[in-house]
Structure 1
Amino acid sequence: MWVLFLLVACAAAVASAVRLVGAAATASRRPGRAAGAVFTAADHDTELPTPAAVSVYEAAFLAGGPRRVADLTLLSLARQRRLLLAHTGWATVVDPDGGDELERSVITAIGPDGQSRVSAIRTAVGAAEAVRSLADRLVAAGLAVPSTAVTNIATAVRQGQFAALLVVLTGTVSLFMLPPEAGAAPVVAWFALPLALISGALAIAHLEMRTSSLWASPAGMRLLGRIAADSVGRSGDGASGLTAFAVRGPAALKDPELRAALQGGGDVRPRPEN
């Protein structure tokens, strides 16, 4: 009977591993140039746009996707003192007039009460039209990975994790079903094979996403490298500080309260100032 469980485990592991590796490989390929692209991000660095030609929001998307764009917009508004970011993870509007579409998206996401959790704002801004338009421009230029590829990777990873759990469960059930006189070593050895396969596929996908990017194409990664190199040694204030945050995320922030605000904070609303 345990052989039937082994066959189920092997089928799930093989199917998940093939989908996982295929999704990671597809996302790592350079997207084809779309018709009407503003600039070409082809195979050579000389054909990449200059860092100055890419907005700080576009750099944020390439480095961290919609979440990074939302966080960057919040940080920009906070530095202009048009929004307060509390270390508890709440944002409070000071000036409700947004200077661009992304700022207006943030203010709209906060809502009429003028206060909202950063996590809720991030979710709403990530689905806003302004972020979708930004992503479409980067995909058309060959710098970003299409959203379908990102979704495929996330789905494949979840499927792989489920397959690994299925292998462990079927292996455990098989061990309990063995008669007392039968040895457990052969069963463990056989179930270790599909578990090793899916674990290896998950590791490859994880390495692929870390060495490349979940959001940037190889060309986009090279451009991010240029942007990061240009910002080295500059002050952490002003536009250069926003650029560093766009590329590196909260690790670039020197203020621990800002880091806490953007990394979650607590559940306590900030008290209004008298």
Structure 2
Amino acid sequence: MFWVLLLLPAWAVADTACTRLCLAAVRAAAVDPGPAATAGDGGRGPAPVPLTLYETAFLSGGPRRVADVTLVSMARQRRLLLARTGWATVVDPHGRDDMERSVIGAIGPRGQSRIAPVRAAAATADPVRGLADRLVRAGLAVPDGHAGTTIADAVRQVRFAAAAVAGLGAAALLLPVPPDVPRHLIALWFALPLVLALGCLAMARFEVHPYARWASPAGQRLLEALSRGTDGAGDDRAYLTSVAVRGIRAVGEPDLRAAFAHREHGHRAGGEREY
């Protein structure tokens, strides 16, 4: 009965992935201060601390998003020139905060560099690491360096498990089986771990969606409140906040978008590692 040899790994992969998802949800709930801490406890608790632009960028897209927002902000203030060819040129060498100074330092003493390595270097600089540490201590960001422990990672594993179970089930149905074993019974045995995986995905989508890579549940609530608060606003702060939340696709200037379109090609060509 070769199909049993396929059923065992199907159950193992589904059970392992679903267990990891449950543990990730429990850990997220353990560090979550709850809606009261981020929404003012119905008017009885302290008001939530507003997110800065860099904090918003990190919680929405991680270290690379912080670098992107810094570059866009400096370019809009004409203190940094981002050419359509994918090069960054320093116009004002005096950064106004640590993030800007890290970008200028990444460009180098010549004052000109390709955007891709600048973005990569700025994303791994000390100011971004310090920002990440502060957000983690505040319970707004997910600690990094724990592969497979975040809800987003666990959901991806459950999706993979569901696909694996379906594939193993299809392979089992193609194998020769004894005459006294009906194929619909084999399909039923494989349907059980598949239902387990799909059920976990359904509950995760209902309970903890969206699955953020960087923000904790408390951080996600602040991001949602920020998005509602900036709807319809048209000033420069709202523009940069939109870039922080949505990324480079929120940039409206064609020349600026063209400059960032070269970043991934240049990054791969240089052989640098993604942060």
TM tier, shorter chain? 0.7 to 0.9
Equivalent pair of 2:99/2:127 in contact (CA under 8 Å): yes
Query: Given the alignment, which residue of 79, 83, 91 partners 2:80?
Result: 83
Corresponding position of 2:4: 3
Is 1:64 aligned to 2:65, yes or no?
no
Q: Determine the C-alpha separation between the residues in 2 that align with 1:47 and 1:268.
A: 46
Corresponding position of 1:223: 222
Corresponding position of 2:171: 173
Alignment of 1:200-219 (within 5 A): 200-205=199-204, 210-211=209-210, 213-219=212-218
Give the C-alpha shift of residue 130 in structure 1: 1.0
The TM-score, its normalising length taken from structure 1, stands at 0.73
Q: Determine the C-alpha separation between the residues in 1 that align with 2:137 and 2:266.
A: 42
State the Cα RMSD in Å. 3.6
Give the C-alpha shift of residue 23 in structure 1: 1.1
After TM superposition, the runs of 4+ consecutive aligned structure 1 residues lying more than 6 A away are 263-266
Q: Determine the C-alpha separation between the residues in 2 that align with 1:190 and 1:87.
A: 57
Give the C-alpha shift of residue 194 in structure 1: 1.6
SS in 1 for 2:114: strand
Is 1:132 aligned to 2:135, yes or no?
no
The percent of aligned pairs where both chains have the same amino acid is 46
Residue deviations 1:138-179 (CA, integer Å, cap 9, x gap): 222333333356851254345434433432443243233224
SS in 1 for 2:103: helix
SS in 1 for 2:233: coil
Q: Determine the C-alpha separation between the residues in 1 that align with 2:219 and 2:24.
A: 18
Query: Given the alignment, which residue of 89, 93, 109 partners 2:89?
Result: 93
State the one-letter code of the partner of 1:2. Answer: W
Equivalent pair of 1:28/1:208 in contact (CA under 8 Å): no
Corresponding position of 2:271: none
Q: Determine the C-alpha separation between the residues in 1 that align with 2:264 and 2:214.
A: 28
Is 1:44 aligned to 2:45, yes or no?
no
Distance 1:159 1:108, change over 3 A: farther
Q: Determine the C-alpha separation between the residues in 1 that align with 2:258 and 2:209.
A: 24
Give the C-alpha shift of residue 256 in structure 1: 4.3
| Number of residue equivalences | 258
Equivalent pair of 1:83/1:91 in contact (CA under 8 Å): no
Corresponding position of 1:247: 245
State the one-letter code of the partner of 2:88. Answer: T
Once structures 1 and 2 are overlaid, which stretch shifts more, 22-31 or 258-267? 258-267
Runs of 5+ consecutive residues of structure 1 not aligned to the other structure: 34-39, 270-274
The TM-score, its normalising length taken from structure 2, stands at 0.73
Distance 1:202 1:125, change over 3 A: farther
